[in-house]
Structure 1
Amino acid sequence: MRTDRDTWTVAMVVPLRGPAGLFGPSCEAITGLAAHELNESGGVLGREVRYEIVDGGAPPAEVARRVGALVATGAVDAVSGWHISSVRNALAPVVAGRVPYAYTSLYEGGERRPGIFCTGETPRLQVAPALRWLRDHLGVRRWFVAGDDYVWPRLSTVAVRGFVRELGLRVEAEAFVGLGAGDMARLVRRVEASACDAVLMLLVGDDAVRFNREFARRGLHERVLRYSPLMEENMLLASGAAATRNLFVSAAYFRSLAGADALDLVGRYTGLHGSTAPALNNAAESCYEGLHTLAHLMRRAGSAELPALNAALDGAAYHGPRGTVEFRGGLARQPVHLAVADGYDFDVVTRL
């Protein structure tokens, strides 16, 4: 059992393999920045911030065993990081009531378990307003939902069906493929055969990259719009500029945001890691948010103990690269922006 109370150590669960593995280097690099900044300001409650990277791209049960062992031995005081919802659902029973858990990824919503602090975007605040904007400004009404076959795409699609009814839209078809093993050629042919105006992509990392390439190979990028709530700079680079035409994305953070706080983050990130650092992106920036959320809650509560953090959550707010993030009813509320892919970067169109 670790007895050093001069340090505060977080297990950062980020993908180092699998479809989301291309996010991993960026997530690791920005975690280093967040820890550095917190320590430069005196740590958290006088304790030095440290972190241990855990591969969140491993099978969920394997991730849960690894984190469970760290928690059981007292090697970590908290858990955070970007990882898919299947991993979160495996981790939750392991950490529940033992250490705080800041889950940073966008997700399907509905997480209410005490001690799990979700800082990412949810469909009601991220997807619904994007569908409305695309309807009002580009006339997009008929959608094809293409997703990986696990909890986030499945439950997000349930929410999308409700948004479609509210907005007077139509889902022409839905199709789900195995995570990391989907036949993208077959999926794109199904899109081509449909009567859709646009595709809602609920695909992770390399799966979305392979979809984009096949989509462009068949020439659909010229006439069918794509919209994704999970698309970042590494995925644009891997897809290729020709494969991202007519691709819209909504997120709380883009590297190209023009606000002072967002620009400052880019400067601090490159200042610490250099100009060849892994691409700064939404998934990575969420890890920065996770550490700062935990630090803010500890300062607000005056304690690192889980019951005190739970009590401090509602009404907590802080300002960062995303703007103001506020927790109401246990949910993080934050500005969300709509952008369109422009080569290997994003052109932010509007705040939703």
Structure 2
Amino acid sequence: MLKLARRVALAAAAAILAGAAALMPASAADKKPFKIGLLLSLSGPAAPFGIPERDAVKALTDKLNAEGGVNGRKVELVVYDDATNPTEAARGMRQLTQQGGVVAVIGSTIGSGTLAAAPIAAKASIPVLAPNGTDAVIARDKDYFPWVFRTLPADGVIGRNLVERALAGGARKVGLFYQEDAYGKGMHDMLATMAKEKGFSVVAAVSAPLSATDLAPQATRLRNAEPDVVLLQASAPALGAAFVRAATQVGLKAPIWAQGALGQKSFLDAAGPAAEGVNITLLANWGNPTPELAEFARILTEAGTPPQGFGEILAANAFYAIVAAAARIEGDIDGVKLRDALEAVCEIKAFTPGFSCYTRDNHDGWTGAAMQTAVVRNGRFVKR
């Protein structure tokens, strides 16, 4: 009888404890993690961006999780390599949204990849943080607009900024080299519009695919047009390096101005001495860091992935935007809740200036205030 009474008492105590536990708020250990998809170019021409993007998000995720996550929720990453291929980007987005269990996706590394993947994400009600400036990525007339958020100024903003700085010295004859995709074509079209507005002339515009390596014919055409300045619109460091090497080879003397996509160590390494004197507009300069950027460099270096250039900044902006939105959500996180929360984000822990707010009608966030100018001197980006 005593044994039976003891068993009854223990069972009653266990029931009371279980009931009390059910009434208590869930501990951090009880909260399910949420997943972020990384749809990035880890191979192909844009890998010099995609690999640092992945490494940056991984380092920041490890740090965040070690500090307790977002309101007690840890972050898990699901990674897919789109191989710098829009078709593969679409396939990857389908896999991440249908099988990966993600509530948001950072990607693609290139604009054409995001354009291919965005409709799939929209159909799955998953927000996309796009680390590329291609204007069409957040075109309001597209069905996917409500689901895509940019993590840097738009190409139109960056492009105008570049042209205005390049013309500040009095140049009136402009040459253009651009890559053959949405990123390059956008600059080509914008330059034609600006020429009419500001009264300068585009004396030559030449292009090449991302995979091109011999650009002597294009550089020769530009040299023969005798421009005052040459604009270099290439997002792949290998392509940008091939162009400046060709420019040196054929004796193209006009100053070269490039967008920040070439603000990469891989561009400097591939171009070698031919990069000397190239002017470039940057979102951030690792060679002249702010205190916040220096802290980010420390995080990356301690993770074994020291900063390489532009990609880490864009990926960090995307990651912290997701974190800021997730922190606003009570209960389980899904794509719809996260999208709605993103449209109310006005403050994030960004390593670049210029972020204003995401709203229902504005998915750009970053403004031209983020840009600064540098010039290549002795293999480094130096403040101009």
TM-score bin, normalised by smaller chain: 0.7 to 0.9
Residue 327 of structure 2 aligns with which residue? Answer: 299
Does the CA-based 8 Å contact 2:39-2:92 persist in structure 1?
A: no
Q: 2: CA distance between counterparts of 1:311 and 1:191?
A: 48
Q: 2: CA distance between counterparts of 1:86 and 1:120?
A: 16
Residue 123 of structure 1 aligns with which residue? Answer: 155
TM-score (norm 1): 0.88
**Shift in CA distance, 154/259, structure 1 to aligned 2, threshold 3 Å:** same
Q: Secondary structure at the match of 2:42?
A: coil
Residue 294 of structure 2 aligns with which residue? Answer: 263
Shift of 1:75: 3.1
Does the CA-based 8 Å contact 2:49-2:109 persist in structure 1?
A: no
Does the CA-based 8 Å contact 1:255-1:282 persist in structure 2?
A: no
Shift of 1:315: 5.7
More strand by share: 1
Q: Secondary structure at the match of 2:105?
A: strand
Q: Secondary structure at the match of 1:326?
A: coil
Residue 327 of structure 1 aligns with which residue? Answer: 357
Q: 2: CA distance between counterparts of 1:168 and 1:62?
A: 42
1:244-300 Cα deviation digits (max 9, x unpaired) = 123111122221233111111112211221xxx354311222111111111112224
Q: Are 2:250 and 1:211 aligned?
A: no
Superposition pairs for residues 1-352 of structure 1, below 5 Å?
6-81=32-107, 83-97=109-123, 98-108=125-135, 111=138, 112=140, 113-136=145-168, 138-181=169-212, 183-205=214-236, 206-220=238-252, 223-229=253-259, 230-231=261-262, 232-240=264-272, 242-273=273-304, 277-302=305-330, 304-312=333-341, 313=343, 316-327=346-357, 329-334=362-367, 335-349=370-384
**Shift in CA distance, 319/161, structure 1 to aligned 2, threshold 3 Å:** farther
TM-score (norm 2): 0.81
Structure with bigger RCO (C-alpha 8 Å, 6+ apart)? 1
Count residues in correspondence: 339
Does the CA-based 8 Å contact 1:19-1:204 persist in structure 2?
A: no
Percent of matched pairs sharing the same residue: 20
Give structure 2 stretches of 5+ with no counterpart.
1-29
More helix by share: 2
Does the CA-based 8 Å contact 2:134-2:186 persist in structure 1?
A: no
Does the CA-based 8 Å contact 1:105-1:120 persist in structure 2?
A: yes
Amino acid at match of 1:281: G
Give structure 1 stretches of 5+ with no counterpart.
none
Amino acid at match of 1:286: L
Does the CA-based 8 Å contact 2:176-2:232 persist in structure 1?
A: yes
Q: 2: CA distance between counterparts of 1:178 and 1:124?
A: 21
Shift of 1:309: 3.6
Amino acid at match of 2:312: A
Q: Secondary structure at the match of 2:232?
A: strand
**Shift in CA distance, 181/258, structure 1 to aligned 2, threshold 3 Å:** closer
Q: Secondary structure at the match of 1:174?
A: strand
Does the CA-based 8 Å contact 1:140-1:197 persist in structure 2?
A: yes
Q: 1: CA distance between counterparts of 2:88 and 2:334?
A: 27
Shift of 1:80: 0.3
Q: 1: CA distance between counterparts of 2:209 and 2:166?
A: 28
Amino acid at match of 1:339: A
Does the CA-based 8 Å contact 2:329-2:338 persist in structure 1?
A: yes
Shift of 1:301: 4.8
Shift of 1:151: 1.0
Q: 1: CA distance between counterparts of 2:190 and 2:258?
A: 15
Does the CA-based 8 Å contact 2:38-2:78 persist in structure 1?
A: yes
Q: 1: CA distance between counterparts of 2:365 and 2:118?
A: 18
Q: 1: CA distance between counterparts of 2:286 and 2:244?
A: 21
Q: Secondary structure at the match of 1:265?
A: helix
Q: 2: CA distance between counterparts of 1:69 and 1:24?
A: 18
Q: 1: CA distance between counterparts of 2:37 and 2:130?
A: 12
What is the root-mean-square deviation in Å for CA atoms of aligned residues? 2.3
Q: 1: CA distance between counterparts of 2:108 and 2:87?
A: 16
